[in-house]
Amino acid sequence: MPESEATTRANDWTRPYLIAVLIADLVAAIFSEIVGVVATDRVPLSDGVPTGYLWICALGPLLWIGTVAISHGYERRFLGVGTEEYRAIPRAAIRLVAATALISFGLYDERPYLSRIVVVTFFPLLIVSALALRYAVRRVLYHRRHQGLSLSRAVVVGESHATAALISDLHREPTHGLRAVAACEPHPKVTTVGGIDVELSGLDHVIEVIDEASADVVIVASPSELSAPDLRRLSWALEKRSVDLIVSPGIMEVAGPRLSIRPAANLSLMHVERPRLGGATALGKYAFDKTIASLMLFLALPVFVLVAIAIRLESKGPIFFIQNRVGIEGRTFRILKFRSMSQDAEQQKAHLLAVQDDGNGTLFKLREDPRVTRVGKFIRRYSIDELPQLLNVLRGDMSLIGPRPPLQSEVDGYERDVIRRLRVRPGLTGLWQVSGRSNLSWDESVRLDLRYVDNWSMMLDLHILWRTARAVVRGAGAY
């Protein structure tokens, strides 16, 4: 395959996206400049617009684009995925503050064209507007990816279990921007991997498969299947074709922030940091939980009253459903929910267990549960039934974000690895909530909970909170 053809194919979505991001950054800079300089009425117009001031206004947007580029804000590997594209904005703003100070000092002629109020207005507004516009551009990209567009074609190489897990993840989360179109395994036997139709071929035919599939990227899911020389030769072959190479570290469910490359003895060794579950970070999470839960509880008081009245009017019984759950380190606590079922719900459970057909095993959840009341269906759809758990957060039994709080009967059936989800406080929401909610199988729910425990950070909590709000508003995956 000619190199130019491969390069053009790989850039089919990245070029329009890069142009859109550039335009967004320019608009943010010009808008912030107008508000920060003109709207604050700090320009000495009575004596004419100073030449130095005009230079600063003209160079501002160009300087902004340049500093974003220096801060890796336009690198193709960061575009359309992850948070690095957003992190480049505050880094660039800090650099631009320094550059602006130097330019202003050099053009100074006894009148300060850039007053402190202009600077204080301009830079925060620039950061906020640039992030908002980039987010809007990213949402358009995500919408296209959910439609099967703007995706890079990927060939997955490795052992069958590793490739199946990876392909399933890519299919479930198209926002990552990768679509598996072929798989190369040591002993290919089937034409579907992870429930997805792919072309299968042996490891000896990787290059042929890449060319036939017009791949943009090759993902090595299990590096142990390729020797070091084979992997190096594969990277050389991909370099000629302008095809990217991604190698899985072989460490399941460990996120990027915990991984770093450490050189030693002419080798590149991967260092895996310990999960940060204690110390100052845990205190920060505790304070964050208390503050946000208090604010949410205050704002939700009118909702509490309305839901309580609706529950009491529709059916007899208590307003709240109280149940023992297992929390951090196996300690039990009493969880609070608005009652969404009839009074004899527990008596009907044994019969319903026999007819459950969702394959969730330990996680008992019916899509059409006859025990749920009319009010219950509504408050479940929008997760209003879980609002009383804010009291559990204030009491310290739960966190805003964390694994799903299990029943003791569920914990009794846990395998040894699953016990690890009890290392942290259970959450009102979590990765399971924003990744499918009740549509998830038991195994998927456990995997997401363990991923959260192993990769917790405040940024992850904020990300989950934001995605939870969107999922609740849409009522997606709840029943």
| pLDDT at residue number 53 | 59
| 9 and 125 both lie in a single domain | yes
Q: What b/e string do you get for 290-310 counting C-beta neighbours within 10 Å, with b at 16 or more?
A: eebbeeebeeeeeebeebeeb
Give the CATH number, domain containing residue 182. Answer: 3.40.50.720
Tell me if 382 is assigned to some domain. yes
Per residue in 95-113, pLDDT (tens digit) is 888 876 776 665 555 445 5
| pLDDT at residue number 295 | 95
Tell me if 320 is assigned to some domain. yes
| 182 and 107 both lie in a single domain | no
Tell me if 292 is assigned to some domain. yes
Query: With contact defined as beta carbons under 8 Å apart, do 25 and 64 qualify?
Result: yes
Tell me if 268 is assigned to some domain. no
Tell me if 274 is assigned to some domain. no
Q: How many residues does the chain have?
A: 479
| 444 and 368 both lie in a single domain | yes
Tell me if 37 is assigned to some domain. yes
| pLDDT at residue number 10 | 46
Q: What is the rounded (10 degree) CA torsion for 4, 6, 8, 11?
A: -140
Per-residue pLDDT band at 7 (split at 50, 70, 90): very low
* Cα–Cα distance for residue pair 449/235, rounded to 1 Å: 35
Tell me if 272 is assigned to some domain. no
Per residue in 155-164, pLDDT (tens digit) is 988 887 788 8
Task: Write down which residue in 112, 146, 180 finishes a domain.
Answer: 146
| 299 and 398 both lie in a single domain | yes
Total number of domains in the chain: 3
Closest by Cα among 122, 141, 142 to 130: 122
| 375 and 411 both lie in a single domain | yes
| 138 and 165 both lie in a single domain | no
| 11 and 69 both lie in a single domain | yes
| 20 and 132 both lie in a single domain | yes
1 pLDDT higher than 50: no
Residue 194 structure tokens: 């992870």
* Cα–Cα distance for residue pair 76/66, rounded to 1 Å: 16
| 109 and 162 both lie in a single domain | no
Beta partners for 261? Answer: 270
What one-letter code names the amino acid at 110? Answer: E
The Cβ of residue 14 has, within 10 Å, a number of other Cβ atoms equal to: 17
| Collapsed DSSP state (helix, strand, coil) of residue 300 | coil
| 69 and 187 both lie in a single domain | no
* Mean pLDDT of all residues belonging to the chain: 80
More confident residue, 257 or 276: 276
Q: Show Cβ contacts of residue 234 under 8 Å, excluding neighbours closer than 6 positions.
A: 206, 207, 218, 220, 226, 245
Domain holding 96, by residue range, is 3-146
Per residue in 420-468, pLDDT (tens digit) is 999 999 999 998 878 765 566 777 788 888 888 888 888 889 889 988 8
| pLDDT at residue number 351 | 62
| 219 and 116 both lie in a single domain | no
Element (DSSP H or E) covering residue 231: helix 228-241
Residue 214 structure tokens: 């017009």
Tell me if 24 is assigned to some domain. yes
Query: With contact defined as beta carbons under 8 Å apart, do 403 and 426 qualify?
Result: yes
Which of 28-37, 94-103, 212-221, 407-416 bottoms out in mean pLDDT, i.e. has the lowest?
A: 94-103
Give me the residue label for tokens 């004596």: 47
Task: Write down which residue in 113, 146, 179 finishes a domain.
Answer: 146
| 304 and 351 both lie in a single domain | yes
